[in-house]
């Protein structure tokens, strides 16, 4: 939830209920915990209350213990070492899936901690990417002088 608040600058509890599909009571309990830890602040008064992240460093993959899956693999249990083994391994299907996952869900500043331009270009035509993601990466690679 904290990463979502960081990404969206300010959120209303109603937005969080909708996004996380949990009860309003559960949302408020979590917000209360984040407030107590100093991770967020409350702005405004009911019914116009927003929650904003305090100015602290955003969590990145570097903050993730190496034995825990990075944020962009929230639904898989892969360690940093396993991710690098897949990227450098010979299983093309797994490699293409993981590269597509990184390009789609990792923050731009984290992508190149796992992938090289060569990894991206080599797999790009076969990657299962949404049109939006494919177009964005194709445009970036073209601007950088790589034609895919």
pLDDT higher than 70, residue 141? yes
Which of 127, 126, 120 is closest to 142 using CA atoms?
Answer: 120
pLDDT higher than 60, residue 65? no
User: What per-residue confidence (pLDDT) applies to 128?
Assistant: 94
pLDDT digits (tens, 9 = 90+) for 72-120: 888 888 888 899 999 999 999 999 999 999 999 988 888 988 999 999 9
pLDDT higher than 80, residue 124? yes
pTM of the full structure = 0.56
For the chain, the structural domain boundaries read 2-53, 61-143
Distance of CA 122 to the CA centre of its chain: 23
pLDDT higher than 80, residue 16? yes
* CATH number of the domain located at residue range(s) 2-53 in this protein: 1.10.10
pLDDT digits (tens, 9 = 90+) for 33-43: 989 988 899 98
């Amino acid at each position: 939830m904290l990463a979502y608040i960081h990404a969206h600058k300010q959120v209303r509890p109603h937005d969080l209920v909708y996004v996380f599909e949990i009860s309003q009571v559960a949302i408020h309990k979590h917000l209360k915990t984040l407030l107590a830890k100093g991770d967020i602040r409350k702005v405004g008064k009911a019914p116009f209350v927003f929650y904003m992240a305090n100015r602290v460093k955003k969590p990145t993959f570097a903050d993730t213990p190496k034995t825990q899956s990075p944020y962009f693999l929230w639904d898989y249990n892969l360690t940093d070492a396993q991710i690098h083994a897949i990227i450098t391994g010979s299983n093309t299907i797994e490699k293409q899936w993981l590269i597509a996952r990184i390009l789609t869900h990792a923050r731009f500043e984290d992508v190149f901690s796992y992938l090289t331009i060569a990894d991206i270009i080599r797999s790009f035509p076969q990657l299962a990417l949404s049109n939006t993601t494919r177009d964005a990466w194709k445009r970036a690679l073209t601007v950088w002088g790589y034609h895919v």
